[in-house]
Amino acid sequence: MVRQLLAQGFYSQPLVVHGVDLRIHLEHLLNTPLGLKHAPPRIKIFRRTRRMGTLGTAWWHHNRINLNEMPGYDGFDSIDTLVHELAHLLVPQRCGHDSTWERVYKTLAFEVYNADIEVHRFHSSKKEKRLHHILRTRNEKGLLTLP
Ligand SMILES: [Zn+2]
């Protein structure tokens, strides 16, 4: 059962962060086996004029993702942040950035973007293995096909 969230008007307003409308990404992410059982989350976007905090936050009790648009980032960061935060919502809050969350994040990245990412919990992962970097590099090489 594929949910056509855009066609059904669930995300009727554009969700543009750093120039990328995230709605089609959400639809694809929520139509993966891991996402199918999950009610579509609300997305709230904050436009910041300076860099502060993190790019995203997940709110389990409200099934909501807050996204910050801040100077110095691009649409590939937006996509990566969406996948990261959605992975949080798909596992219990207590998981934090543990191996369960990590597996979901990696699976979503692989199924929707065919990206083999690496996640390290205790130190930052190699830049080359991060989703935003993989997508940005593909785009620079003219190899990017986004959903
Ligand atoms: Zn996180």
Residue 121 has what pLDDT?
66
22-78 pLDDT per residue, tens: 999 999 999 999 999 999 999 999 999 999 999 999 999 999 999 999 999 999 999
Distance 2 CA to ligand 1 centre (A): 27
79-90 pLDDT per residue, tens: 999 999 999 999
Asked if residue 62 is part of any domain, the answer here is yes
Asked if residue 109 is part of any domain, the answer here is yes
Give the predicted TM-score (pTM) of the model: 0.95
Residue 122 has what pLDDT?
64
Distance 96 CA to ligand 1 centre (A): 7
The bridge status of strand 20-21 relative to strand 16-17 is antiparallel
Asked if residue 11 is part of any domain, the answer here is no
Distance 7 CA to ligand 1 centre (A): 30
Asked if residue 64 is part of any domain, the answer here is yes
* C-beta contacts of 1-8 below 8 A and 24+ residues apart: 1/36, 2/31, 3/27, 3/30, 3/31, 3/36, 3/40, 5/30, 5/40
Domain count, the chain: 1
Distance 9 CA to ligand 1 centre (A): 28
Task: Quote the domain boundaries for residue 21.
Answer: 16-140
Asked if residue 105 is part of any domain, the answer here is yes
